[in-house]
Amino acid sequence: MSAALTETDRRFLRLAYDQAKLGYEEGGCPIGSVLAEGDRLIAAGRNRRVQEGDPIAHGEMDCLRRAGRQKSYRRMTLYTSLSPCMMCTGTILQFGIPRVVIGEAQNFAGNPDFLRQHGVEVLVADDADCVALMRRFIAEKPELWAEDIAED
């Protein structure tokens, strides 16, 4: 589902893409994430599985770690360059994040429908830059991509 994004959504999704690009340039998986409350940036992160040797350092997880303790996530939006895996989806639900903006779900379908079924507002932007970066990464490093999504 393609969505009309607000200017704020576009700005934070671009920051998530920038994080993904940094991860790619570091030799990792190019998946970035940003947590915001309205116009206020809370944190940004990227997939650091390769860089830190941490199997759960997905983009969304890294972002949430960098956000530190929050009293509540109930008015926040999580922006992610790629549709979230089940681990990150579970964390979104666990923390009660009510809104997720996804850069793309073409290269990896992720779990937007599962999030929606659990009351999360989900927008998929079909962002051309997010699609192209992920497609390039998968073509260049298929083994690393398979490892990231736990496929043999």
CA distance 25 to 115: 30
- Please report how many Cα atoms fall inside a 13 Å half-sphere around the Cα of residue 84, on the Cβ side: 35
**Band of the pLDDT at 1, cuts 50, 70, 90?**
very low
Angle (nearest 5°) at CA 99 between 80 and 124: 50
Question: Of 132, 83, 86, 89, whose CA–CA distance to 103 is shortest?
Answer: 83
Task: Please say if the pLDDT value at position 25 is more than 80.
Answer: yes
Active-site pick, 60, 121, 147, 151: 60
CA distance 126 to 59: 18
**Band of the pLDDT at 152, cuts 50, 70, 90?**
confident
Is 60 among the residues known to form the active site?
A: yes
User: In the predicted model, what is the mean pLDDT of residues 75-91?
Assistant: 98
What pLDDT is stored for residue 3 in this prediction? 55
CA distance 105 to 124: 7
Question: Of 23, 55, 75, whose CA–CA distance to 149 is shortest?
Answer: 55
